[in-house]
Chain A
Amino acid sequence: MSAKHVNPTRMELTRLKKKLVTAMRGYKLLKDKRDELMRQFLELVRENKALREKVEAGIQEANQNFVLARASMSQEALNVALMAPKQEVYLEAETRNVMSVEIPVFHSTTRSPDPSDIYSYGLAFTSGDLDDAVKKLADLLPDLLRLAEIEKSCQLMAAEIEKTRRRVNALEHVVIPETQQNIRYITMKLDENERSSQTRLMKVKDMMLESAHHYSERAAIKEAES
């Protein structure tokens, strides 16, 4: 039985039937959206995992080199070497629309095109480990940017998938069954009304014929004669 009370009228029935058609169509569309989002998300998240493993390993290695560099240089020398960077990275952020989710796409540009500009110090007073560390990080930078792009996309898509899944479930398990139930209820109620007025009419007709022709009195007289 439906939780809400519905008016058993023809107008309500037409309205509910229209609602059911819309709900069905929405359900199909949303289900397709969810499936497609899920497919793309799983592809993306696998890439995300692989990339993150790679980046984490890379940073770990670079950090080891930094530790070595720090061991063989004084803190001041290290600060002097790194505190005035020559290179700068800018990002151009665009968005790409994947199944109505706006995911970011980054294009990076560096201030100077020379790849050796990552070394912001002279090579005379610094340890070779520092060069290694900076070089490793620089090699990692494209992956780091790609990771940012993919991980953000994954987060956004995950949120959208959750929302879509809720909507699909609400339609599938609440809205559509409830509407169908209500439609059945109204149809039965209308049929019932129809039958009851039919019987009432038949009864009235009988009564009118009776009062016009006095069938039962005539039948009684015939009984008495025979």
Chain B
Amino acid sequence: MYKIAVMGDQDSIYGFAALGLEPFSVTDPQEAERTLRDLAQGEYAVIYITEALAAQIEPAIDRYRSAGLPAIILIPGASGNTGRGMTAVKKSVEQAVGSDIIFGGE
């Protein structure tokens, strides 16, 4: 049985706590990396992480790209949508196809 975690700054994530996802309020990049590692080794299948935080610990996130679980998914935070989440999807397309054919150079 797996659980779902949400990482990010306090303001962006406490809404998810009400739904029953587990919030982990972190803003410091080093602490975020540590938390991410602990969560990935633990019983979390999905980790939602705010785009703002993800931008700071990108290498740590990329490590889990090719692993089966957990799935690390970027979500926009309270401070707004930075488009990083879409960039991640775009990256998959470029990796698979060789060039971006879905987003049409947006």
Would B86 and A49 count as touching, CB distance under 8 A? yes
Mask: chain A, 151-171; 1 = CB below 8 Å from B; 0 = not: 110111111011001000000
Q: Among A51-59, A189-197, A207-215, which stretch is in contact with chain B?
A: A51-59
Given A89-B19, A118-B19, list of 5 further CB < 8 A pairs?
Answer: A89-B21, A104-B68, A149-B71, A154-B92, A158-B93
Max chain A Cβ within 10 angstroms of own Cβ: one of B11, B14, B77: B14
| Contacting residues, chain B, for A154 (C-beta < 8 A) | 89, 92
Mask: chain A, 25-48; 1 = CB below 8 Å from B; 0 = not: 000000000000010011001101
Q: Which residues of B in the span 49-87 have a Cβ within 8 Å of any Cβ on A?
A: 65-66, 68-69, 71, 73, 75-78, 80-81, 85-86
Distance between Cα atoms of A101 and B103 in the complex (Å):
24
Interface of A is mostly: helix
Distance between Cα atoms of A141 and B19 in the complex (Å):
8
| Contacting residues, chain B, for A183 (C-beta < 8 A) | none
| Contacting residues, chain B, for A185 (C-beta < 8 A) | none
| Contacting residues, chain B, for A102 (C-beta < 8 A) | 68
